[in-house]
Amino acid sequence: MAAERLTGAALEAELDRLLGEGSAFQPSEDFKASALISDTGIWDAAEADPVGFWEEQAGALDWNTRWTTGLDDSNPPFYKWFDGGTLNASHNCVDRHVEAGLGERVAYHWHGEDGSTQTITYADLHRDVQRAANALKDLGVKAGDVVGIYLPMIPEVVVAMLACARIGAPHNVVFGGFSPQAVVERMEVSDAKVLITASAARRKGKTAEVKQQVDDEIASRAEGLPALDTILVVRHADGDAPMTEGRDVWWHESLAAADPVCPAEAFPADHPLFILYSSGSTAKPKGILHGTGGYLTGVAWTHLNVFDLKPETDVWWCSADVGWITGHSYIVYGPLMNAATSVMYEGAPDYPHTAIWWELVEKYKATIFYTAPTAIRACMKWGAEEPAKHDLSSLRLLGSVGEPINPKAWLWYHHVIGGSKCPIVDTWWQTETGHILISPLPGVANAKPGSAGRPLPGVLAEVVDEAEGKEVERGNQGLLVLRRPWPGMLKTLYRDDDRFIETYFSRFGNDTYLVGDAARQDPDGDMWVIGRIDDVVNVSGHRLSTAEVESAIVAHPAVAEAAVIGQSDEQSGQAICAFVTLEGSHETTDAVMAEINEAVAERIGKFARPKRIIWSDDLPKTRSGKIMRRLLRDIAEGRALGDVTTLRDPAVMAELQKHVAARASEED
């Protein structure tokens, strides 16, 4: 039986007690008894033959031709999984389930921001994906052509992705929170031939004229977008849209005109399935390129086993946006490959009210819920009274992803949402890894709040020292690396093999993937991920590069120089803090501050706006002129300053500290 859920002061006291105890959590006997994996022997078995382990998992997919080589590692770091095999991703997500008689199973319970609903079955997807695939073909899209997708959380986004996969056209989905400028840039650098977008999107009760904004952005460029032939427009939120003759086509019209039958064509396992742009250490986003057979194998296996999924009875809900890797892998490909039933919600967690998620858990009887720590902390702020309004007893497993989860949020999630009976899987992975690599397996884990648990079977993750890349002693902090290829690993960075090697494989060689996180592995082998070691900031689970934000800020004509850092933030994990120096003649006014914020929103998206802008007359620089961000981080966090003797002008620091103090007192 679920324990009574506490709220208010009683909850606080209970969480403090649990925090003090610091104990680990075992699954209940009930959970264990029916868990897919209830034996720790799987680690040894996978370790004895890692490639064979993944080959066995690949057998769960439908292959047109079976592979000849499990892993071709003859040209590291360009690894090829399941070489010689061919398959089709959309067939594996849809057709084979329909053929197996599951056509009437619900794939998505879609819930609109305005309360409208749609029930989408596997048969519905089968019908729509074929038409959409033919519509793309009619527009001249061929295997290998890139198709951009900039859509809200509506069923069409899933259909669009699968239609691309069906014809071998890699999709390039851009998160709906990115600005039209960021979208158009990503279309340009990937030479997208078609862009699928919506007339309008719902944003907490308001409507954004998405298509108009994209048009304006394209028109503002001298050359427009030379490679882009067509914009396919989904009519949404009662939005009309300006349509340019000869370039723009309505989604519903082109689907209606398309042939209803589109056989799924077999592609090599290594065929590119999608590009997803993600932030790196420089201002230029990285086009992370994923293949097909390996990616699908890793995603299908982890979705099934990390979440202990029983497709016949579970109702799965991943609250991410499809525009991020979490959405690609665990809203679209994973659940569909496993023939799962999912909840898909269009809106934000606080719209139309702050209990909407729990209302939907009750309504759809969701059994597994997967979200980010930042969202859990927001829910904590709204209060345990919100979830208490609803019956959450259908839940049996919870997941967390995107950043380290602080033990208090873990315990709150466990007690308030999980009724103290649901295991929590804290899943570590990245856009680059394609799927979860480190996580407790819920039927066997001894879960420790704040730890992502052991590397999954077959995965070789280590914590190494910076200098030589040698494994550090258990308990010590170091760099997280992956020593062995895994099936979902990125193929390369789109059209940039050099940057791919440089970013991930230059530090310790071609056989050691540098993750970019610092971590500690405890004596039990459980990983404690600490955070990024590069200039990548994690704001509410959104990955941002400080360089990208800086370049948006310095584009403002009044700005002489800017340095951006990530500062720890109780709510969003990290927050953007910008130190800005204006050109001599400009005053540091609120108006300029607002303009700088606006510039970042326009260039990247609203989510990237600095939480704090600190005016500074000068920035700490080395004698060679390099900005020392480490010192800025120390200042912003109120830490004792590290070594300042290498600074060109050490007096800069005292001056800056005054500014930071002034800013802090304004905020109080």
CB of 418 to ligand WT7, least distance (A): 17
CB of 273 to ligand WT7, least distance (A): 17
Residue with smaller CB distance to ligand WT7, 91 or 542: 542
- Give the residue from 243, 155, 160, 229 showing the smallest Cα distance to 199: 243
Residue with smaller CB distance to ligand WT7, 236 or 303: 303
CB of 16 to ligand WT7, least distance (A): 23
Q: Contact 146/276 with Cβ under 8 angstroms?
A: no
Q: Give the chain's end-to-end CA distance (angstroms, integer).
A: 45
Residue with smaller CB distance to ligand WT7, 258 or 539: 539
Residue with smaller CB distance to ligand WT7, 502 or 655: 502
* DSSP annotation string for 147-158: EEEE--SSHHHH
Residue with smaller CB distance to ligand WT7, 145 or 403: 403
Residues 6+ apart with CB under 8 A from 9: none
CB of 606 to ligand WT7, least distance (A): 17
CB of 607 to ligand WT7, least distance (A): 12
CB of 430 to ligand WT7, least distance (A): 4
Sheet holding 461-464, edge to edge: 461-464, 477-482, 513-521, 527-532
Residue with smaller CB distance to ligand WT7, 109 or 543: 543
Count of CB atoms situated within 10 Å of the CB of 206:
9
User: HEC string of 393-462?
Assistant: CCCCEEEEECCCCCHHHHHHHHHHHCCCCCCEEEEECCCCCCCCCECCCCCCCCECCCCCECECCCCCEE
Distance CA 14, CA 18 (A): 6
Q: Exposure of 611 by Cβ count < 10 A (0-12 exposed, 13-18 middle, 19+ buried)?
A: middle
Distance CA 205, CA 508 (A): 50
Residue with smaller CB distance to ligand WT7, 135 or 296: 296
Residue with smaller CB distance to ligand WT7, 113 or 321: 321
Distance CA 256, CA 316 (A): 31
Query: Would you report the helix, strand and coil content of the chain in percent, each value rounded to 5?
Result: 35, 25, 45
List C-alpha distances in Å: 260 to 2, 99, 119, 231, 414.
49, 17, 21, 21, 47
Residue with smaller CB distance to ligand WT7, 402 or 605: 402
List C-alpha distances in Å: 123 to 119, 153, 184, 262, 353.
11, 20, 34, 14, 33
Name the residue type at position 508: F
Structure tokens at 654: 């005292």
Q: Contact 201/176 with Cβ under 8 angstroms?
A: yes
Residue with smaller CB distance to ligand WT7, 155 or 285: 285
- Give the residue from 369, 349, 374, 360 showing the smallest Cα distance to 424: 369
Distance CA 424, CA 341 (A): 20
CB of 304 to ligand WT7, least distance (A): 18
Chain positions contacting ligand WT7, by CB under 6 A? 278, 325-326, 401-404, 426-431, 452, 515-517, 529, 532, 538, 541, 543
CB of 528 to ligand WT7, least distance (A): 9
Strand-pairing partners, residue 111, are 117, 345
Residue with smaller CB distance to ligand WT7, 355 or 564: 564
CB of 246 to ligand WT7, least distance (A): 38
CB of 365 to ligand WT7, least distance (A): 26
Residue with smaller CB distance to ligand WT7, 15 or 537: 537
Distance CA 395, CA 472 (A): 39
CB of 325 to ligand WT7, least distance (A): 5
CB of 233 to ligand WT7, least distance (A): 29
Residue with smaller CB distance to ligand WT7, 134 or 374: 374
Distance CA 348, CA 119 (A): 20
Residue with smaller CB distance to ligand WT7, 91 or 532: 532
CA angle 25, 26, 30 (to 5 degrees): 135
* DSSP annotation string for 482-547: E-S--TT---EETT-HHHHHHHHHTTT-TT-EEEEEEEEE-TTS-EEEEEESSSEEEETTEEEEHH
CB of 287 to ligand WT7, least distance (A): 13
CB of 329 to ligand WT7, least distance (A): 8
Distance CA 567, CA 558 (A): 25
Phi, psi of 437 (to 5 degrees): -120, -30
